[in-house]
Structure 1
Amino acid sequence: MKPILNVADAPIRRLESGEHFECRMAQLANPLGAKSIGANVTHVPPGKAAFPFHHHYANEEHFFILSGTGMLRVGSQAYPVKPHDYIFTPPGGPEVAHQLVNTGLEDLVYLAISTLQLPEVAGYPDSGKTGVRITYDSASGAGRFLIADASKDEVSYWDGEDGRAIAEMQAAPSAP
Protein backbone atom coordinates (compact mmCIF):
# COMPACT_ATOMS: atom_id res chain seq x y z
CA MET A 1 0.00 0.00 0.00
CA LYS A 2 1.24 3.47 -0.91
CA PRO A 3 1.81 5.71 2.19
CA ILE A 4 0.42 8.82 0.48
CA LEU A 5 -3.07 9.91 -0.57
CA ASN A 6 -4.04 13.10 -2.35
CA VAL A 7 -7.24 14.64 -0.94
CA ALA A 8 -8.68 14.72 -4.49
CA ASP A 9 -8.42 10.91 -4.59
CA ALA A 10 -9.75 10.26 -1.07
CA PRO A 11 -13.04 8.42 -0.53
CA ILE A 12 -15.87 10.82 0.34
CA ARG A 13 -18.34 10.25 3.19
CA ARG A 14 -21.50 12.39 3.17
CA LEU A 15 -23.68 13.10 6.20
CA GLU A 16 -26.99 14.95 6.29
CA SER A 17 -29.83 15.26 8.77
CA GLY A 18 -32.63 17.81 8.78
CA GLU A 19 -31.99 21.44 7.92
CA HIS A 20 -29.00 22.03 10.24
CA PHE A 21 -26.54 19.15 9.69
CA GLU A 22 -24.64 18.45 6.50
CA CYS A 23 -21.07 17.77 5.44
CA ARG A 24 -18.84 15.82 3.13
CA MET A 25 -15.61 14.37 4.44
CA ALA A 26 -12.61 13.27 2.39
CA GLN A 27 -11.29 10.31 4.39
CA LEU A 28 -7.49 10.47 4.67
CA ALA A 29 -6.10 8.25 7.44
CA ASN A 30 -8.17 5.06 7.17
CA PRO A 31 -7.53 4.42 3.45
CA LEU A 32 -3.81 4.47 4.23
CA GLY A 33 -4.25 1.87 6.98
CA ALA A 34 -4.13 4.17 10.03
CA LYS A 35 -5.64 2.59 13.14
CA SER A 36 -4.89 4.99 16.03
CA ILE A 37 -5.43 8.40 14.41
CA GLY A 38 -8.30 9.49 12.19
CA ALA A 39 -8.04 12.36 9.70
CA ASN A 40 -10.34 13.90 7.13
CA VAL A 41 -10.97 17.14 5.30
CA THR A 42 -14.51 18.25 6.12
CA HIS A 43 -16.61 20.62 3.98
CA VAL A 44 -19.61 22.20 5.75
CA PRO A 45 -22.08 24.29 3.69
CA PRO A 46 -23.22 27.75 4.90
CA GLY A 47 -25.66 27.63 7.82
CA LYS A 48 -24.82 24.03 8.73
CA ALA A 49 -22.76 22.02 11.18
CA ALA A 50 -21.22 18.63 10.47
CA PHE A 51 -22.14 17.14 13.88
CA PRO A 52 -24.22 17.91 16.95
CA PHE A 53 -22.64 19.68 19.94
CA HIS A 54 -20.74 16.85 21.66
CA HIS A 55 -17.86 15.84 23.90
CA HIS A 56 -15.67 12.74 24.08
CA TYR A 57 -14.57 11.07 27.28
CA ALA A 58 -11.72 9.10 25.60
CA ASN A 59 -10.61 10.95 22.47
CA GLU A 60 -9.16 14.32 21.64
CA GLU A 61 -9.82 16.16 18.39
CA HIS A 62 -7.79 18.75 16.50
CA PHE A 63 -9.04 21.02 13.71
CA PHE A 64 -7.20 23.29 11.27
CA ILE A 65 -9.39 25.75 9.38
CA LEU A 66 -8.45 25.73 5.69
CA SER A 67 -11.08 28.11 4.31
CA GLY A 68 -14.36 29.79 5.19
CA THR A 69 -15.54 31.24 8.47
CA GLY A 70 -17.70 30.08 11.30
CA MET A 71 -18.15 29.76 15.03
CA LEU A 72 -16.68 27.24 17.42
CA ARG A 73 -18.89 26.36 20.38
CA VAL A 74 -16.93 25.10 23.39
CA GLY A 75 -18.82 24.56 26.62
CA SER A 76 -20.88 27.72 27.17
CA GLN A 77 -18.63 29.92 24.97
CA ALA A 78 -18.54 30.68 21.23
CA TYR A 79 -15.49 31.81 19.27
CA PRO A 80 -15.20 33.03 15.66
CA VAL A 81 -12.96 30.90 13.42
CA LYS A 82 -11.21 31.80 10.19
CA PRO A 83 -8.56 30.31 7.87
CA HIS A 84 -5.38 29.10 9.57
CA ASP A 85 -6.95 28.84 13.03
CA TYR A 86 -5.86 25.69 14.90
CA ILE A 87 -8.28 24.20 17.42
CA PHE A 88 -7.71 21.55 20.09
CA THR A 89 -10.56 19.88 21.98
CA PRO A 90 -9.49 17.61 24.85
CA PRO A 91 -11.40 14.64 26.20
CA GLY A 92 -13.73 15.44 29.07
CA GLY A 93 -17.29 16.28 30.05
CA PRO A 94 -19.84 18.90 28.94
CA GLU A 95 -17.45 21.74 29.76
CA VAL A 96 -15.39 20.76 26.67
CA ALA A 97 -18.32 19.92 24.39
CA HIS A 98 -17.64 21.38 20.97
CA GLN A 99 -19.17 22.06 17.56
CA LEU A 100 -18.05 23.95 14.46
CA VAL A 101 -20.85 25.89 12.74
CA ASN A 102 -20.51 27.55 9.34
CA THR A 103 -21.79 31.12 9.78
CA GLY A 104 -20.17 32.36 6.58
CA LEU A 105 -21.28 32.55 2.94
CA GLU A 106 -19.00 29.81 1.55
CA ASP A 107 -18.12 26.29 2.66
CA LEU A 108 -16.25 26.02 5.95
CA VAL A 109 -13.39 23.61 5.19
CA TYR A 110 -11.17 22.11 7.87
CA LEU A 111 -8.73 19.32 8.50
CA ALA A 112 -10.03 17.17 11.37
CA ILE A 113 -7.67 14.85 13.26
CA SER A 114 -8.62 12.65 16.20
CA THR A 115 -7.44 9.79 18.32
CA LEU A 116 -9.47 6.61 17.83
CA GLN A 117 -9.53 5.04 21.27
CA LEU A 118 -12.24 2.46 21.92
CA PRO A 119 -14.49 2.12 23.72
CA GLU A 120 -15.56 5.75 23.41
CA VAL A 121 -18.31 7.48 25.36
CA ALA A 122 -19.68 10.72 23.90
CA GLY A 123 -22.16 13.13 25.41
CA TYR A 124 -24.62 15.38 23.55
CA PRO A 125 -25.56 18.29 25.87
CA ASP A 126 -28.16 19.85 23.51
CA SER A 127 -30.26 16.67 23.46
CA GLY A 128 -29.26 14.92 26.70
CA LYS A 129 -28.12 11.77 24.89
CA THR A 130 -25.09 9.58 25.54
CA GLY A 131 -23.39 7.48 22.87
CA VAL A 132 -21.05 4.54 23.29
CA ARG A 133 -18.87 3.35 20.40
CA ILE A 134 -17.38 -0.12 20.71
CA THR A 135 -16.23 -0.67 17.10
CA TYR A 136 -15.54 1.77 14.27
CA ASP A 137 -14.53 1.88 10.62
CA SER A 138 -13.60 5.49 9.85
CA ALA A 139 -13.83 4.99 6.08
CA SER A 140 -17.46 3.86 6.08
CA GLY A 141 -18.63 5.26 9.40
CA ALA A 142 -19.90 1.78 10.18
CA GLY A 143 -19.45 0.12 13.51
CA ARG A 144 -21.28 -0.47 16.73
CA PHE A 145 -22.52 2.84 18.19
CA LEU A 146 -25.20 2.73 20.88
CA ILE A 147 -27.27 5.82 21.72
CA ALA A 148 -29.13 6.18 25.02
CA ASP A 149 -31.49 8.76 26.49
CA ALA A 150 -32.73 8.06 30.00
CA SER A 151 -36.12 9.59 29.18
CA LYS A 152 -36.86 7.37 26.13
CA ASP A 153 -36.84 3.68 25.27
CA GLU A 154 -35.19 4.13 21.85
CA VAL A 155 -33.32 7.04 20.28
CA SER A 156 -31.27 7.64 17.15
CA TYR A 157 -28.11 9.69 16.70
CA TRP A 158 -30.06 12.73 15.42
CA ASP A 159 -32.97 12.62 17.96
CA GLY A 160 -33.29 15.90 19.84
CA GLU A 161 -30.71 17.68 17.71
CA ASP A 162 -32.90 20.54 16.47
CA GLY A 163 -30.08 22.94 15.66
CA ARG A 164 -31.38 25.89 17.71
CA ALA A 165 -27.86 27.04 18.56
CA ILE A 166 -26.86 26.81 14.89
CA ALA A 167 -29.81 29.01 13.91
CA GLU A 168 -28.89 31.50 16.65
CA MET A 169 -25.28 31.72 15.47
CA GLN A 170 -26.40 32.07 11.87
CA ALA A 171 -28.63 35.02 12.87
CA ALA A 172 -25.85 36.77 14.81
CA PRO A 173 -23.55 39.12 12.88
CA SER A 174 -20.23 37.48 11.95
CA ALA A 175 -17.03 38.91 13.36
CA PRO A 176 -14.58 40.15 10.68
Structure 2
Amino acid sequence: MTNKLFPIARLPDLALEPFEMGEAYICRDAGFSDSIGLTQLGASYTEVPPGKSGCPFHVHHVEEEMFVILEGEGTYRFGPDSYQVKAGDVLAAPRGGPEYAHKLTNTGKVPLKYLSISTRADTEICEYPDSGKFLANTKEPGSRTNRFRYLGRMESEVDYWDGEDSAG
Protein backbone atom coordinates (compact mmCIF):
# COMPACT_ATOMS: atom_id res chain seq x y z
CA MET A 1 0.00 0.00 0.00
CA THR A 2 1.35 3.44 -0.92
CA ASN A 3 0.94 6.67 0.98
CA LYS A 4 -1.83 8.89 -0.29
CA LEU A 5 -0.51 12.03 -1.96
CA PHE A 6 -1.51 15.36 -0.41
CA PRO A 7 -1.61 17.60 -3.53
CA ILE A 8 -1.61 20.96 -1.71
CA ALA A 9 1.29 23.15 -0.61
CA ARG A 10 0.46 25.77 2.00
CA LEU A 11 2.93 28.64 1.56
CA PRO A 12 2.82 29.78 5.24
CA ASP A 13 3.75 26.22 6.31
CA LEU A 14 6.81 25.85 4.05
CA ALA A 15 10.19 25.54 5.77
CA LEU A 16 12.14 28.36 4.12
CA GLU A 17 15.87 27.78 3.67
CA PRO A 18 18.07 30.88 3.99
CA PHE A 19 20.64 31.62 1.30
CA GLU A 20 23.27 34.35 1.27
CA MET A 21 26.19 35.09 -1.05
CA GLY A 22 28.00 38.32 -0.33
CA GLU A 23 25.95 41.47 0.05
CA ALA A 24 23.95 41.27 -3.20
CA TYR A 25 22.31 37.85 -2.96
CA ILE A 26 20.08 37.07 -0.01
CA CYS A 27 16.83 35.14 0.03
CA ARG A 28 14.78 32.50 1.79
CA ASP A 29 13.05 29.88 -0.31
CA ALA A 30 11.42 26.47 -0.40
CA GLY A 31 10.84 24.11 -3.29
CA PHE A 32 7.60 22.19 -3.01
CA SER A 33 6.94 20.44 -6.31
CA ASP A 34 8.18 17.05 -5.05
CA SER A 35 6.05 17.24 -1.91
CA ILE A 36 2.84 17.67 -3.94
CA GLY A 37 3.73 14.97 -6.46
CA LEU A 38 4.94 16.99 -9.44
CA THR A 39 7.65 15.33 -11.52
CA GLN A 40 7.78 17.46 -14.69
CA LEU A 41 7.03 20.86 -13.15
CA GLY A 42 9.21 22.66 -10.63
CA ALA A 43 7.70 25.04 -8.08
CA SER A 44 9.19 27.11 -5.28
CA TYR A 45 8.31 30.05 -3.06
CA THR A 46 10.91 32.80 -2.48
CA GLU A 47 11.26 35.86 -0.25
CA VAL A 48 13.93 38.47 -1.06
CA PRO A 49 14.71 41.41 1.27
CA PRO A 50 14.83 45.02 -0.01
CA GLY A 51 17.83 45.81 -2.22
CA LYS A 52 18.76 42.15 -2.80
CA SER A 53 18.42 39.45 -5.48
CA GLY A 54 18.02 35.70 -5.14
CA CYS A 55 20.32 34.72 -8.01
CA PRO A 56 22.58 36.21 -10.69
CA PHE A 57 21.58 37.18 -14.25
CA HIS A 58 21.21 33.84 -16.07
CA VAL A 59 19.40 31.95 -18.81
CA HIS A 60 18.40 28.30 -19.10
CA HIS A 61 18.93 26.57 -22.43
CA VAL A 62 16.43 23.77 -21.72
CA GLU A 63 14.05 24.70 -18.90
CA GLU A 64 11.55 27.56 -18.98
CA GLU A 65 10.58 29.58 -15.91
CA MET A 66 7.70 31.79 -14.86
CA PHE A 67 7.52 34.02 -11.80
CA VAL A 68 4.31 35.16 -10.10
CA ILE A 69 4.82 38.23 -7.90
CA LEU A 70 2.73 37.84 -4.74
CA GLU A 71 3.93 40.81 -2.66
CA GLY A 72 6.35 43.69 -3.02
CA GLU A 73 7.96 45.29 -6.04
CA GLY A 74 11.16 44.98 -7.96
CA THR A 75 13.08 45.27 -11.19
CA TYR A 76 13.01 42.42 -13.67
CA ARG A 77 16.13 42.53 -15.82
CA PHE A 78 15.34 40.60 -18.98
CA GLY A 79 17.87 40.47 -21.79
CA PRO A 80 18.96 44.05 -22.54
CA ASP A 81 15.90 45.61 -20.85
CA SER A 82 14.61 46.20 -17.31
CA TYR A 83 10.99 46.30 -16.17
CA GLN A 84 9.36 47.48 -12.96
CA VAL A 85 7.21 44.70 -11.48
CA LYS A 86 4.76 44.46 -8.59
CA ALA A 87 2.24 42.12 -6.93
CA GLY A 88 -0.04 40.56 -9.51
CA ASP A 89 2.56 40.52 -12.31
CA VAL A 90 3.54 37.28 -14.08
CA LEU A 91 7.05 37.22 -15.56
CA ALA A 92 8.23 34.96 -18.38
CA ALA A 93 11.73 33.51 -18.67
CA PRO A 94 11.79 31.44 -21.88
CA ARG A 95 14.64 29.09 -22.62
CA GLY A 96 17.23 30.27 -25.10
CA GLY A 97 20.27 32.50 -25.34
CA PRO A 98 21.42 35.70 -23.59
CA GLU A 99 18.48 37.65 -25.01
CA TYR A 100 16.32 35.72 -22.48
CA ALA A 101 18.67 36.02 -19.49
CA HIS A 102 16.88 37.26 -16.40
CA LYS A 103 17.32 38.50 -12.84
CA LEU A 104 14.78 39.73 -10.30
CA THR A 105 15.85 42.36 -7.75
CA ASN A 106 13.78 43.75 -4.87
CA THR A 107 13.66 47.55 -5.25
CA GLY A 108 10.89 48.07 -2.68
CA LYS A 109 10.80 48.64 1.06
CA VAL A 110 9.25 45.28 2.03
CA PRO A 111 10.21 41.67 1.17
CA LEU A 112 9.57 40.66 -2.44
CA LYS A 113 7.58 37.41 -2.36
CA TYR A 114 7.06 35.29 -5.46
CA LEU A 115 6.41 31.84 -6.87
CA SER A 116 8.82 30.31 -9.37
CA ILE A 117 7.36 27.72 -11.71
CA SER A 118 9.49 25.87 -14.25
CA THR A 119 9.74 22.89 -16.49
CA ARG A 120 12.07 20.19 -15.16
CA ALA A 121 14.74 18.56 -17.25
CA ASP A 122 17.22 15.87 -16.30
CA THR A 123 19.90 17.70 -18.30
CA GLU A 124 20.32 21.48 -18.36
CA ILE A 125 22.77 24.10 -19.59
CA CYS A 126 22.60 27.43 -17.78
CA GLU A 127 24.51 30.49 -18.99
CA TYR A 128 25.59 33.53 -16.93
CA PRO A 129 26.21 36.37 -19.45
CA ASP A 130 27.56 38.91 -16.92
CA SER A 131 30.34 36.64 -15.69
CA GLY A 132 30.92 34.53 -18.81
CA LYS A 133 30.20 31.26 -16.97
CA PHE A 134 28.07 28.28 -17.87
CA LEU A 135 26.73 25.32 -15.92
CA ALA A 136 26.26 21.86 -17.40
CA ASN A 137 24.22 19.60 -15.18
CA THR A 138 22.71 16.12 -15.52
CA LYS A 139 20.65 14.45 -12.83
CA GLU A 140 20.15 10.75 -12.12
CA PRO A 141 17.04 9.56 -14.01
CA GLY A 142 13.94 10.03 -11.87
CA SER A 143 15.95 11.82 -9.18
CA ARG A 144 17.13 15.32 -8.26
CA THR A 145 20.62 13.95 -7.47
CA ASN A 146 23.44 15.22 -9.71
CA ARG A 147 25.13 12.63 -11.91
CA PHE A 148 27.35 15.21 -13.58
CA ARG A 149 27.87 18.91 -12.84
CA TYR A 150 30.40 21.33 -14.33
CA LEU A 151 30.57 25.08 -13.80
CA GLY A 152 33.20 26.89 -15.85
CA ARG A 153 34.04 29.28 -18.65
CA MET A 154 34.47 28.70 -22.37
CA GLU A 155 38.16 29.70 -22.09
CA SER A 156 38.85 26.31 -20.47
CA GLU A 157 37.51 24.47 -23.53
CA VAL A 158 39.80 21.79 -25.00
CA ASP A 159 39.92 20.05 -28.38
CA TYR A 160 37.69 16.99 -28.80
CA TRP A 161 40.77 14.73 -29.10
CA ASP A 162 42.70 16.28 -26.21
CA GLY A 163 43.92 13.53 -23.87
CA GLU A 164 42.71 10.67 -26.08
CA ASP A 165 45.02 7.89 -27.18
CA SER A 166 45.13 8.22 -30.96
CA ALA A 167 47.40 5.17 -31.37
CA GLY A 168 44.50 2.79 -30.95
Worse overlay, 38-47 or 21-30: 21-30
Work out whether 1:69 is the aligned partner of 2:73: yes
1:19-53 Cα shifts (integer Å, max 9, x gaps):
00011113221222321111111101111100100
Work out whether 1:124 is the aligned partner of 2:128: yes
- Note the C-alpha offset of 1:149: 1.5
Distance in 1 (CA, whole Å) between partners of 2:71 and 2:63 is 25
- Correspondences of 1:35-50 after superposition (within 5 Å): 35-50=39-54
- Note the C-alpha offset of 1:70: 0.6
SS where residue 19 of structure 1 aligns? coil
- Note the C-alpha offset of 1:16: 1.1
Higher relative contact order (CA 8 A, sep 6+): 1
SS where residue 43 of structure 1 aligns? strand
Contact 1:56/1:123 (<8 A) preserved:
yes
TM-score normalised over the length of structure 1: 0.78
SS where residue 122 of structure 1 aligns? strand
SS where residue 154 of structure 2 aligns? coil
Give 1:161's aligned residue: none
Give 2:95's aligned residue: 91
From the two aligned structures, give the one with the greater strand fraction. 2
- Could you say what the CA RMSD is over the residues aligned between the two structures, in angstroms? 1.8
Structure 1 portions without partners, runs of 5+:
154-176
Contact 1:11/1:27 (<8 A) preserved:
no
Work out whether 1:5 is the aligned partner of 2:32: no
Distance in 2 (CA, whole Å) between partners of 1:79 and 1:5 is 30
Distance in 1 (CA, whole Å) between partners of 2:43 and 2:103 is 17
Distance in 1 (CA, whole Å) between partners of 2:150 and 2:71 is 33
Structure 2 portions without partners, runs of 5+:
158-168
